[in-house]
Amino acid sequence: MAPSTSSALTLNINGEKHTLTVDHRTTLLDALRERLDLTGTKKGCDQGQCGACTVLMDGRRAVSCLQLAVAAEGREITTIEGVADGDRLHPVQQAFLDLDGLQCGYCTPGQICSALGVIEEHAAGWPSAATTDVRPEAGVPELTAEEIRERMSGNLCRCGAYVSIVQAVAEAARAEKESA
């Protein structure tokens, strides 16, 4: 008997379980968009280079075009559809809106998911390539514009809204720190 090329799996997305049968080659991005109608996550390059398809997996950023859906079973996946609290926008979404961190908006879901990861990674003290003093005793580096640019560099914006995106991430990080 020929080996089966598809499997049934359950994905935990935005706190809800979804059971589906997918070909083993299906990416998480295609499962989200084509099978589950979660089209907020965008397909840009489909090669891991643009960040449009960024989601959070167990709270960390992942480009969903490079993840197989079958390998995402058992992980907590957050897409842009799961970021707001009902009708209340997440502070990162609000900052993008307030500061015009978008033009066409195609890259925005990925930028926002990435920004959520950045803010968490930074608050946890993770250094980036832009961090000048990486000694543990130096503590959490200041989230400067350079730090934000470096940490968000996996997300491309064809409209070039970068200046306001950096401002929005800085503002959201500041607001989250104040409310903590």
Binding footprint of ligand FES on the chain (CB under 6 A):
43-46, 48-53, 63, 65, 102-108, 157-159, 161
Contact 63, 78 (CB under 8 A): no
Distance in Å, CB of 2 to ligand FES, minimum: 31
Query: Given strand 16-23, what is the order of strands in its sheet?
Result: 16-23, 6-13, 76-78, 54-57, 60-63
Distance in Å, CB of 42 to ligand FES, minimum: 7
53/118 with CB nearer ligand FES: 53
46/98 with CB nearer ligand FES: 46
Angle between the 108-123 and 162-179 helix axes, to the nearest 10 degrees? 40
109/141 with CB nearer ligand FES: 109
Distance in Å, CB of 94 to ligand FES, minimum: 17
Cα torsion angle, 30, 36, 39, 40, sign = negative
